[in-house]
Amino acid sequence: MKVILCIGVIIVCAYIGYSISKTYIMRKKFFFCLSSFLSQVRREINFSSRKLEEFLCNCDANSKEFNMLVSNYKKLLLLGESINEKTLFADILILSQQEKDCILDFFKSLGKLDVYNQVNTIDNFNKVIQDYYTAAMEESKKYSTLYIKLGIIVGAFIALIII
Amino acid sequence: MLKDLLPLSMYSSLTKKNSEIEINEIRIRVNKPITVLCNTKTYFLSDDGICSASNQAIYGDFNLIEQIIFKACDYSIYAVNEQIKRGYIIVSGGIRIGLCGEVVNDGTIKTIKNFSSICIRIPHLIKNVALPIFNHVLINGEPCNTLILSPPGAGKTTLLRDLVFQFSNHNYPYNIFIADERGEIMGGNDSGTNLGNFCDHISFLNKKDAFMLGIRSMNPNIIATDELGAGEDFDAVEYAINCGVAIIATIHAKDLNDLKNNTLFKRFIENGYFKRYIVLSKENGIGTIEGIYRENFSRIYGGVL
């Protein structure tokens, strides 16, 4: 019975560790997808001046949070509402306030400028996003395995106490 | 068409008493009542539909105008900035939104901002409106150079569109190239406007380049184009005529005398380039055919010269 309990405790602790580490992986994916999206938007605007709606519809990235962000943005556009933080980041919990402000500013200006200025805005924003991505990657390297290991160690420690 | 463009509440008010097809024009100005041109009469827009009393009218504001423009360009100003620079946006279905506001200018127009008023013109596809004139644009069964003239809003584009369609409808297999500089004839690429089986079109390109491109690449029998105005438009028409291509075009002019006073047009009269002149007015409603004239301005049908 004790053995089963110990295994259970280790699994639970490891899972908690994994959940915490997942946030870092998700952040990394989110910024990677956002950066790829910006490159695509830049290309579409600069070369063919395709309208936002056309390529937002085909936007399907590898990050659930990023897809949610795009979907929230589309929803706001269709409703004709102004871009606001509450709706744009609804159900997205992995971003800091500073990151949210920066992304919000960008989406507020998206589609409202001429080609030259829109491309410049995208380039400047992409630089910031690249920094966030680098930071997220480092964090992910540093912490994602750490929290899983910590979870297992804490689980093992509790198991020892139980025994 | 309008449903996709206007805020829902405004569209509901607009279509409360009238159907969309009756509306010709909507004007929205900042802090001024919204006006609607319906069957050549101007009304105000109220919550209960269009009315004659200005005290019941809904007023326009910056937000409403900005919202309509942003929606009209599918949330992508950059995609239509070249049109904005020229003072209008063409929306799906050929709706033309004329713009007024502050021009950002550094020698050349960069864009227009802080829009203060817009004029939404709704085109109408009226079938067979060109039937009464169709036989007159043919000489010995061949299309002749034809100019449709009228003041703004008298139905030139509608007539031109149907005239082009009639060639196909009457089984004349002429290749017609439409130089649609403002995108109004075809109503954008996605409007599904059917102008017959022998039509090719190029949109949003100036007439000079469009004519060159069309003649070189599409080998047209007829070129149809809207609103001749600038000097280079006339050069393009002359070039096409000299290439042996028939022209069907429209121009803003009150009447034939007005056209004769157009200095850019003088050489066309002297050389007798256009064989038929079709004069439209709003006398008995939009699209009234005032008269059809030969190259020497002798009357074929209607009107007193």
- Name which of B10, B63, B75, B203 to mutate to probe chain A: the one with the most chain A Cβ atoms within 10 A of its Cβ: B75
Strand pairing report for B222-228 and B246-252:
parallel
List the single best residue of A114, A116, A121 to mutate versus B (max B Cβ within 10 A): A114
Whether residue A51 and residue B77 make contact (CB cut-off 8 A), yes or no, is: no
Say which of B7, B75, B110 has its CB closest to residue A52. Answer: B75
Confidence of residue A38 (pLDDT cuts 50, 70, 90): very high
Contact B81/A at CB under 8 A:
yes
- Which chain A residue lies closest to B85 (C-alpha atoms)? A114
pLDDT reported for residue B193: 67
Strands (E) in chain A, as ranges, are: none
One DSSP character per residue, chain B reads: -GGGTS-HHHHHHHTTTS-GGGEEEEEEEBTSB-EEEETTEEEEEETTEEES-GGGBPBB-HHHHHHHHHHHTTT-HHHHHHHHHHTEEEETTTEEEEEEEEEEESSSEEEEEEEEEEEEE-----TTTTHHHHGGGEETTEE--EEEEESTTSSHHHHHHHHHHHHHHTT----EEEEETTSTTTTSTTS-----TTEEEEESS-HHHHHHHHHHHH--SEEEEEEE-SHHHHHHHHHHHHTT-EEEEEEE-SSHHHHHT-GGGHHHHHHT--SEEEEEESBTBTTEEEEEEETT--EEEES--
Q: Which of residues 189-218 of B touch A (CB under 8 A)?
A: none
Shortest CB distance from B74 goes to which of A45, A51, A112?
A51
What single-letter amino acid sits at A66? F
Residues of B in contact with A118 (CB under 8 A): 78
Of A54, A80, A115, the CB nearest to B78: A115
Contacts of B110 in chain A (CB under 8 A): 114
- Dihedral angle over CA of B222, B225, B230, B235, nearest 10: -10
**Hey, what amino acid is at B242?**
N
User: Given this model, what pLDDT does residue B108 score?
Assistant: 85
CB < 8 Å to A114, chain B: 77-78, 81, 110-111
B71 touches chain A (CB under 8 A): yes
Dist. CA B224–CA B199, nearest whole Å? 10
Which of A28-32, A111-115, B72-76, B264-268 has the largest mean confidence? A28-32
- Please name the residue that has the structure tokens 């105008």: B65
Q: Which residue in chain B has the smallest CA separation from A82?
A: B67
CB nearest A114 (choices: B70, B75, B110): B110
- Cα separation of A64 and A59, whole Å? 12
What chain A residue is nearest to B84 in terms of C-alpha separation? A114
Mean pLDDT by 10 residues, chain B (305 residues): 86 86 90 90 90 90 91 89 89 87 87 91 83 89 92 88 89 91 73 76 90 92 91 90 93 89 87 91 83 88 61
- Distance separating alpha carbons of residues B93 and B125, to the nearest angstrom: 10
Residue with tokens 């919990």: A93
Question: Which residue among B71, B74, B77 sits closest to A113, beta carbon to beta carbon?
Answer: B77
- What per-residue string of b and e applies to A31-56 under the rule 16 or more CB within 10 Å gives b? bbbbbebbeebbebbeeeebbbeebb
pLDDT recorded at residue B305: 46
B74: nearest CB among A45, A52, A80: A52
Chain-chain contact of A49 with B77 (C-beta, under 8 angstroms): no
The distance from CA A57 to its chain's CA centroid, rounded to whole angstroms, is 19
H/E element holding A153?
Answer: helix A145-162
C-alpha dist (Å) from residue A161 to A152, B208, B236:
14, 88, 93
Residue A83 is classified by DSSP as P
Q: State whether ipTM is beyond 0.90.
A: no
Cβ(A104)–Cβ(A85) below 8 Å? yes
pLDDT at B303: 60
Cβ contacts of A80 on chain B, cutoff 8 Å: 7, 67, 71
CB-CB under 8 Å, A49 with B79: yes
Contacts of B7 in chain A (CB under 8 A): 80
CA B204, CA B225: separation in Å to the nearest integer?
Answer: 12
Strand partners, B35: B27, B44
pLDDT(A127) > 70: yes
A82 DSSP assignment = P
Note whether B75 contacts A: Cβ–Cβ < 8 A.
Answer: yes
